[in-house]
């Protein structure tokens, strides 16, 4: 049997079921705590958010060995991860991605002034082992994301004007990926806002809606040029809501009334980037919890890159800008 790595257990890192982390201080005194989110970095590295200086953090700074227990949200298998603390990153791609996700949650719940990421604690994964077998077979078939991406990409490649490009992109979301609610937004650079040019699943309410850069899931994903995927059933999101309820009203911002579902269960925002330039964002959501996975995120990031490149080429071809 091949050795396991983080690629094999990525669903366990979604935060649907909180993990457990154990550390020891230099005297061997153990400390066990729940962790709301484990950030996948690659097959052999993970990261944890550093927001507060607590007992766990003191332990890993003194004795950089930790073990994590994570649970697969679908079939209940448990995995033990042996990890070593390497360093804390306060800048760079990993830090920005984790900060963007936290900022997206905080902005959506009006908690931007409360939640601040101080660093991304990077760990090397020495070993992953299964400690409890699956309770049942993961029978979820669903969409083959690679096949869906291929078909959606073919739709996009056939477009010869911006309007058909935007419409075909969202048709691909509905027909190929099975997404019922989607929007495509473009950047108004002068006003520093995103405005909706096409939507699916919202009736007349979607077209023309706007959101400032840096606000909500979509605005933060665009401003930080990184995808943000939020499953609202996760402990991390629930913690944010609980914290909001306990914080004095004058410390809170208004909750952002995003165009879209009143009570989304899952959201994924992907920036449209071409040659390092932000053009807009692709946004999908669902009323169902845990609807979007790592595979969805990977596929939509690839599709968004193609859409952005083609939109840029078409805009140059007709001598028009994207506003």
Structure tokens given for 54:
């607590």
Residue 140 is assigned to a structural domain of this protein: no
Q: In this predicted structure, what is the pLDDT of residue 162?
A: 95
For residue 235, what pLDDT is reported?
44
Domain ends where: 78, 97, 132?
132
Helices 235-246 and 93-108 sit at what angle, rounded to 10 degrees?
Answer: 50
Residue 276, domain CATH: 3.30.450.40
Q: CB under 8 Å to 315, separation ≥6 — which residues?
A: 162, 321, 322
CA–CA separation, 203 vs 37, rounded Å?
A: 35
Same domain, 38 and 108: yes
Pair 218, 265 in one domain: yes
Residues 99 and 235 grouped into a single domain: no
Domain of 30, CATH number, reads 2.30.110.10
* Residue 322 counted as domain residue: no
Instruction: Indicate whether 110 and 153 sit together in one domain.
Output: no
Same domain, 187 and 291: yes
Determine the pLDDT at residue 209: 80
Q: Which stretches of the chain score pLDDT less than 70?
A: 1-2, 53, 103-115, 136-141, 204-208, 232-259, 318-323
My answer on whether 78 and 153 are in the same domain is: no
Domain that holds residue 61: 6-132
Number of domains within the chain: 2
| Confidence at residue 224, expressed as pLDDT on a 0 to 100 scale | 86
The answer to pTM > 0.85 is: no
Query: Among candidates 81, 62, 198, which has minimal Cα distance to 130?
Result: 81
Beta partners for residue 21, in sequence order: 33, 68
Has residue 323 been placed in a domain?
A: no
Are 35 and 169 contained in the same domain? no
- Do 120 and 151 have their domain in common? no
User: Token match 């994590």: residue?
Assistant: 68
C-alpha 119/C-alpha 98 separation (Å) is: 9
Does 142 fall in a domain?
Answer: no
- CB under 8 Å, gap of 24 or more: what pairs does 87-92 form? 87/121, 87/122, 88/50, 88/119, 88/120, 88/121, 88/122, 89/47, 89/119, 89/120, 89/122, 90/118, 90/119, 90/120
Report the alpha-carbon distance of residue 45 to residue 23 in Å, rounded.
Answer: 18
Q: What is the pLDDT of residues 226-280, one digit of tens each?
A: 898 887 644 444 444 443 444 444 443 444 345 578 778 889 999 999 999 999 9
Domain boundary among 132, 156, 181: 132
pLDDT of residue 51: 75
The torsion defined by the Cα of 7, 14, 111 and 223, in degrees rounded to 10, comes to 40
Does one domain contain both 174 and 97? no
Is the domain of 159 the same as that of 273?
yes
């Amino acid at each position: 049997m091949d050795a396991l790595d983080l690629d094999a257990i990525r669903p366990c890192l979604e935060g649907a079921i909180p993990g457990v982390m154990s550390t020891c201080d230099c005297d061997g005194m153990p400390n066990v705590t729940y962790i709301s989110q484990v950030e996948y970095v690659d097959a052999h590295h993970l990261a944890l958010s550093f927001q507060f200086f607590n007992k766990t953090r003191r332990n890993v700074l003194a004795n950089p060995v930790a073990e994590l227990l994570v649970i697969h949200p679908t079939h209940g298998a448990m995995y033990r991860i042996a990890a070593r603390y390497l360093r804390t990153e306060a800048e760079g791609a990993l830090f920005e991605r984790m900060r963007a996700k936290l900022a997206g949650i905080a902005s959506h719940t009006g908690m931007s002034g409360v939640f601040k990421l101080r660093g991304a604690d990077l760990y090397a994964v020495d070993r992953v082992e299964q400690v409890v077998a699956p309770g049942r077979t993961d029978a979820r078939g669903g969409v083959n994301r690679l096949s869906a991406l291929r078909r959606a990409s073919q739709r996009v490649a056939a477009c010869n004007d911006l309007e058909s490009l935007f419409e075909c992109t969202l048709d691909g979301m509905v027909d190929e990926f099975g997404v019922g609610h989607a929007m495509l937004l473009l950047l108004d650079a002068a006003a520093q806002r995103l405005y909706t040019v096409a939507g699916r699943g919202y009736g007349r309410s979607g077209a023309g809606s706007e959101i400032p850069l840096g606000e909500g899931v979509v605005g933060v994903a665009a401003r930080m040029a990184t995808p943000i995927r939020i499953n609202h059933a996760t402990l991390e999101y629930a913690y944010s809501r609980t914290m909001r309820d306990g914080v004095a009203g004058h410390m809170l911002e208004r909750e952002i009334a995003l165009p879209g579902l009143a009570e989304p269960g899952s959201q994924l925002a992907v920036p449209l980037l071409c040659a390092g330039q932000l053009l807009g964002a692709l946004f999908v959501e669902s009323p169902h919890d845990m609807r979007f996975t790592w595979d969805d995120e990977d596929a939509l990031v690839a599709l968004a890159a193609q859409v952005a490149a083609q939109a840029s080429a078409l805009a140059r071809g007709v001598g028009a800008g994207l506003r």
